[in-house]
Amino acid sequence: MPEEVKSSADASSAAVSGELRRDDYWTIVNDETPYAQGDILRRFTSNDPDDPEFGLIITADCDIAQAKAADRLTYVEVVSTRTYLETIWIPDQLQKFVKKQSAAAAQALAGVMRRSELSFELLDEQLVEWLRQRPVEAVDKAVNRTGKALDGRLVQNLNALRCALGAEGHATPLAQWRALRTTLGDSKDRQLADLTSALAGGGGFPDFFLLPELPGASGLGYVALLRFIRTVHSHEVFASEVDARVQGHPHALHRVGCLTDGIRFAVTQKLAFLFSRIGLPTSFENASKSAAALAAESLFTGV
């Protein structure tokens, strides 16, 4: 039998026998398979059917089997790398830059104003509002009476602040961030390296898990947001897209696959470590113990 025909026959045989597709990251499962930790959920939105939402079940297998969470499933949101960068990481970077550099710029301009014998004080918040509404040249004209040009580094930071604040007309956070970095003199290669580092978890313990790909998704690179935890009734989740459509819920959450054991356990490990670092105040722990004791006593005595 020719190799091409043999391969086709093998594929057809596998499909008929119900053999499931597997790869290094995820597995496609049968509709009859119970929900499990690591199941990948998808939901089509009416606003943009070409950009579905994804989730990843984190409820433990034993809790699902023993119904310890009643009829609820807990999952974390999963978004594309672009969505993560543009809605979470980059806005955070812009906010940090504005907070740090507006204080430094206001302090530098305060020195210019003193030398210009201007009596009013320029606060960080005032400078930010000025830069939202006015170009750097207008700010310079308003505060500088020394007859000398502002320091070049200060002018550069003021222009960068306008980029970070969206005052230069850039349409997206990514465009703002790139304009900011370009204004500061960072090359495209440096900017790309920083984006790559952000997705790779550089700069501290990450609160996300990067997945190379997902079943039923176009493109590469998805981010499981470990702090974005949601719950849903199990009857609101369907075993497959076909199941959801047949039952008249085409926009409901439905399973599209399950992460392989090594990957799903790694997600759980990172999730557990992330929240194990959160300590509680002693006063809260003491109050919780007292509340438990009083509640038990009230129930026991019928008060």
Query: Do residues 158 and 105 touch, judged by C-beta distance below 8 A?
Result: yes
Identify the pLDDT of residue 263. Answer: 93
Is residue 205 domain-resident? no
pLDDT band at 293 (very low <50, low <70, confident <90, very high): confident
- CATH code: domain of residue 70: 2.30.30.110
One domain, residues 251 and 145: no
293's enclosing H/E stretch is helix 282-301
Whats the size of the chain, residue-wise? 303
What integer best gives the mean pLDDT of the chain? 87
For residue 136, what are the CA distances in angstroms to 157, 161, 175, 183, 277? Answer: 10, 10, 20, 13, 44
Residue span of the structural domain in which 69 resides: 20-80+212-276
Give me the number of domains the chain comprises.
Answer: 2
* 195 and 237 belong to one structural domain: no
Residues 43 and 87 grouped into a single domain: no
Between 238 and 213, name the one with better pLDDT: 238
What span, in angstroms and rounded, lies between the C-alpha atoms of 198 and 204? 10
The Cα–Cα gap between 253 and 54 comes to 8
Nearest to 59, CA basis, from 278, 281, 222, 258: 258
* pLDDT tier, 12 (very low <50, low <70, confident <90, very high otherwise): very low
- The more confidently predicted of residues 65 and 48 is 65
Higher pLDDT, 231 or 23: 231
The average pLDDT across 190-196 equals 93
**CA 156 centroid distance within chain:** 30
Condensed to tens digits (0 to 9), the pLDDT of residues 134-183 reads 999 999 999 999 999 999 999 999 999 999 999 999 999 999 999 999 99
Q: Give pLDDT tens digits for 13-63.
A: 333 334 444 467 899 899 999 999 999 999 998 777 778 999 999 999 999
